[in-house]
Structure formats: structure tokens, C-alpha cells
Amino acid sequence: MPIFHYKGYKTDGSQAAGTIEADGVQDALATIRARGVYPRDVSEHREKGKGWFSKRSDEALLPYLTRQLSTLLGAGVPLIEALRSLSEENRGAWRSILVAIRENVSAGASLSRALEAYPGLFPDFYISMVAAGEQSGTLDKVLIRVADFLEKQSSLRAKLRSAMIYPVFMASVGLIVLSFLFTFVVPKIVKIFENSKSALPFVTVVLIAISNFFVHYWWLLVILAAGLVILARRLRRTHGRFLDAVRLKLPGNVLQSLYFGRFARTLGFLIGGGLPMLKALELAAKATGNLVVEGRIRRAAQGVAEGARLSSSLEGFPPVLLRLIATGEKSGTLVEVLSKAADSYEEEFERRVQRALSLLEPSMILIMGLLVGFIVFAVLLPMFQLNQLVK
């Protein structure tokens, strides 16, 4: 149901503003008038910040807000008052969002229904877990589990980003240094050979050609870089499944541990929160971040719906993980088994990332050394030839 923001005047002439949930503009106007407000401006809410805000602020604040809400509810604070406290504590976009959610809950909507208006901020699994907590009467306990899950996911992403900072920094510095050499340094050095009538070595000719390209066609490199970015995004949209299949086959199976760990972590978390198996599988499939793995999980969900066991329905998953799931199904400890499997895969992913980075660093240094050596060799070789001619 759409959400509308309104501004108007009360019967005593004072100004009023708020947020309501209605089927349409006319329904919104009728609801506002029923509250004793004469509407001056009514506009449907349009979600903003689906880019940077929804991807960054939710990772930083959503676990904290979720834990705070759980603490307030666990202490016996009514939901509306808990939301009011959170909205008063925060500023900016989150404040308006929390106010709108509180208004919707005050109007009779459930918390999970109010969260559906912000799909960019609250993932599907978050809303489903809140709905399950409302149905079971354990919303405060469910929110604690959600906060723990979000913090684990955020911690894993932070470790991955921090691990990539050094190689990205080295690559950027190397690119800047090489561009500077080819654009400003090499052209001045090769002027020494312009008056020479002797034939230049092949490596020097290549160096001069590269330098001239950087000097006169640098704009083409910029266009090429922009084109590669656009092409990568288009390929992601049109051939996403193929690219995800390639990621699964990368040397060292680095990303496999990440995808299987996400699956185990999310599925165990959702089942432990009270969601049915089929719904949990649907949400866990989306959370993997790989279309190939997602397709395998969806096919397994069809088998589970037909009465098969999850362990026998999953195809293309590691035998160890399948054995663990089968053991958990037989012993009734599937949630605990999935949690332990997720811990194992996440640790393995971190080890493989560190191992890959330990190989990447010397490789980048070697490449930079070869490029610099090529420049030095291409400059010194004709100088040696000139010296021989002088003698």
C-alpha cells in the first residue's frame, strides 16, 4: 500500500504534517480529513537513495538500530514508543524513515508491513524475519538474531574490502607512475636520439611509439577505460549467469567458499528464526550473490517441496557440506550444523583471500620491475651504441 506525506492545518489553525498509508490519493485525503486535518499538500512517498545511501548507511546503522529496537522491546517498551525513541535519537534520512514507519504502525499496520515501503534499506530476509517474530510473539529475540546476522555479514565484507585496499593502491600508484613516465619523462629523454643518424634498437622504437601514444592519444585511453566500465555493467546484466559460472571456476576456488558460506549462514539463520524451509531457501538463494548457485538452490527447493530431503536435492555443492546437512536433518540439529559450516567456510574464504593476496603482491612488484627495466634498457641501449660510434 502506498505511503503519503501530507501537510495541512488543524481546526485551531495550527499546522500539521505526517505520513499515512492509503490505497490512493483520494483515500489519503479522506483519512487526513478524518484526523481533523485540512490537507494543503499531499504527495506519495518516493524512495530516494537507492544507490550510495541504501548500500552504505544500512550496513553501518541497520544492525545498530535493530539491536536498539530489540533492547527497547525486551525491556517492555511498546513498539510505537520504541520507534519514537529511535527516531528522536537519529537525524537525516533515517529520522524521516523511522517517523514514517512509526506513523504506519500507529495507523494499524504491522512493523513488517511498514518496512516493506523501504525495500532498498530492509532486505527481504529482514522483513520476513520480523513478520515471523510478530507471529510468534518473540519479536525482540528475533531482532537480536537479525542484528547478529547483519553484523557478521558486515564484518566479512569489511575484511574483504580491507584486504583489497593494498593491491588496489599498488595498482593505482603503478598506473600513475607509468603514465607519468611515458607522458613526461620518456619524451624528453628520447630527444637525445633525434639527431642521431644511426638506427635505433627495436626496444627503443617500441618505447618511443608507446610514449607518443600516451602523449597524443591519452584521451583515447580515457574513452577506452569508460567503455570497459560500461561494457562490464552491460555484460553483468545480459550475461550475468555466465560471469557467475566463471567466478565459480576461478583458480583456488576463492569465491566458492564465500558463496557456500553465505548460503549456510543465511539458511541456518532463517530456519532458526522460525521461517518455513521453502521460504528460507528462497531468501537464502538470493543472498548468495551468484546466479548459478542461486539456480541450484531454487531447484533444490522444488525437490524439497515434492518431499525430498534438502541434502539429496542440492546439486553442485561440496560433499562435506551435503554430509553435514544430511546429519543435521537426521539429528534435528540442522540450524547448529549450518552455523558451524558457515563458520568453517568463512574462515576458509579469509585464508584463501590472504593466500591469493600473498601471491598477488610479489606478482605486481615483478610486473612493475619488468616495465621499469624495459624503459631503462630501451633508454640505455642506444646510449651504449652512441658511445661505440664515438670511439
Q: Are strands 37-44 and 3-10 parallel, antiparallel or unpaired?
A: antiparallel
Per-residue pLDDT of the chain (391 residues; tens, 9 = 90+): 455 667 777 777 777 776 665 666 667 777 777 777 777 777 665 545 444 444 445 566 888 898 899 999 988 889 989 988 888 887 777 877 888 888 888 878 888 888 888 877 888 888 888 888 888 888 888 888 888 888 888 887 787 787 778 778 888 888 888 888 888 877 877 777 666 666 777 888 888 888 888 888 888 888 988 998 898 888 878 887 888 888 888 776 778 888 898 899 889 888 888 888 998 898 888 888 888 998 999 999 999 998 889 988 888 888 999 999 999 999 889 989 999 999 898 888 888 888 888 888 788 888 888 888 888 888 788 777 666 655 5
- Global pTM reads 0.68
63, three cell numbers: 544492525
Half-sphere exposure of 230 (CA within 13 A, CB side): 6
Note whether 52-122 and 252-349 share their fold. Answer: yes
Query: Cα–Cα distance between 119 and 377 in angstroms, integer?
Result: 58
CB 66 within 8 A of CB 147: yes
Q: Give domain limits for the chain.
A: 3-44, 52-122, 252-349
CB 259 within 8 A of CB 290: yes
Q: Does the domain made of 52-122 have the CATH classification 1.25.10.10?
A: no
Sheet containing strand 37-44, strands side by side: 15-21, 3-10, 37-44
Instruction: Give the position of cell 520480523.
Output: 130
> Which CATH class name applies to 252-349?
mainly alpha
Q: Which residues pair with 20 in a beta bridge?
A: 4
Query: Cα–Cα distance between 343 and 267 in angstroms, integer?
Result: 13
Task: Please state the three-class secondary structure of 253-279 as a single string.
Answer: HHHHHHHHHHHHHHHHHHHHCCCCHHH
Residues whose CB is less than 8 angstroms from the CB of residue 101 and which lie 6 or more positions away in sequence, other chains included: 83, 111, 114, 115, 117
